A = this chain, B = another copy of it.
Amino acid sequence: MIKRITIIGSGNVATALAKAFVDNHIQLVQVFSRKLENAQKLINQLDKNKKIEAICDLKNLSAHTDCLIIAVKDDAIAEVVKQLPFSDKLTVHTSGSVGITVFKNVAHFGVFYPVQTFSKTNKTQLKTVPFCIEGNSELATNQLVKLAEQLTNNVHRLNSEQRKALHLAAVFACNFSNYMYVVAEQITSENNIDFSILKPLILETAKKIEGLSPKEAQTGPAKRKDIATINEQLQLLKNDKALQDLYQLVSNKIMDNQ
């Protein structure tokens, strides 16, 4: 069972996890950041009575830990793994897109992936955040599932292939839907309309799929096959060929998907 945790990283994910561990009485041993002050800043946000060490050199990682959680930028994970001073501790990363093959020369490893954007997350929200778990052995997987279950009631076992598919789906559901908001903001701003008029509608669109499948929730001109409105709207986009293509492509997909 994982009782002592070391966190490598001091960004949003590292901070959210550290808070959640401390709040749930799981021992944090050390926090690593390349800049010592960032590790210290993270620790200062936690319960002052816990003794947690800030370090800025991976050589100083304590062996008195059960699990190393690497919560750094995707492209820095491999470099961290290479510099680890020991290879016998359960070592995981928190990324949706980095494969499990990044753990070269580590005996026990896995993925501890919270499916959320952590810009504003607080401890209350983490309770419902889904965690996707993968381990290189049944033992590792079970240990990570048990750890995640102490933080959230929403734990899923996904293999690497499924996690890649989930990450692709998340790119559509989140990154691409956010880009649709970007386009909406451009259009409103070009027409001197306050973008915030659309905010209640955006929120309702996201809330709607709590109770309906996205396909059932689909509305709009393409769903109604309202070709007159579609053509009028394409005409409004005539100065931006790429946006026009995007509008046509998405409208076609919606019309095909009935």
Residues of A within 8 A of B (CB): 74-75, 97, 115-117, 119-121, 128-130, 132, 154, 156, 158, 161-162, 164-185, 187-188, 190-195, 197-215, 217-224, 226, 229, 232-233, 236-237, 242-243, 245-247, 249-250, 252-254, 257
Contacts and interface: CB of A to CB of B under 8 A. Distances in A.
B115 A198 contact: yes
B162 A174 contact: no
How many copies of the chain does the oligomer comprise? 2
Summarize A's interface: helix, strand, loop or mixed: helix
B184 A223 contact: no
B253 A179 contact: yes
A205 B174 contact: yes
Contacts of A205: 117, 173-174, 177-178, 206
Contacts of A129: 200
B128 A178 contact: no
A154 B194 CA distance: 11
Given A176-B180, A176-B250, 11 more contacts: A117-B201, A117-B219, A128-B200, A156-B197, A169-B185, A170-B201, A174-B202, A178-B208, A178-B218, A182-B218, A203-B207
